[in-house]
């Protein structure tokens, strides 16, 4: 089989039909009642880590533009917690 035949086989129009069939099998949740959702993490006992994880609950799935700022805040809190753990206590 030549390289041209390989490229031709990869672009088979039947592949697009298979992808469409797979898309029909995807279930999308329209509404989520936050009170019915279980917490996805267990408290760690480390207040800085728990506070950072609590920020995940503030993510608005409909406003992805705010996600970067929240992830940055979580990252900063986790780094600060690690720094505090590594700092020797006198």
Whole-prediction pTM value? 0.53
Residue 73 pLDDT: 96
Name residue, tokens 């940055």. Answer: 72
Q: Which residue has the higher pLDDT, 38 or 2?
A: 38
Closest by CA position to 56, among listed 32, 84, 78: 78
The answer on pLDDT for 12 being more than 60 is no
9 confidence band (pLDDT: 50, 70, 90): very low
- Mind listing the pLDDT tens digit for each residue in 40-88? 778 899 999 999 999 988 888 889 999 999 999 999 999 999 998 888 8
């Amino acid at each position: 089989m030549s390289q041209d035949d390989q490229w031709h086989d990869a672009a088979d129009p039947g592949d697009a039909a298979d992808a469409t069939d797979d898309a029909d099998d995807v279930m999308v949740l329209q509404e989520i009642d936050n009170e019915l959702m279980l917490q996805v993490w267990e408290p760690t006992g480390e207040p800085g880590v728990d506070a950072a994880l609590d920020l995940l609950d503030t993510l608005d799935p409909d406003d992805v533009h705010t996600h970067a700022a929240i992830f940055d805040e979580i990252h900063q809190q986790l780094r600060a917690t690690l720094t505090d753990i590594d700092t020797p206590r006198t």
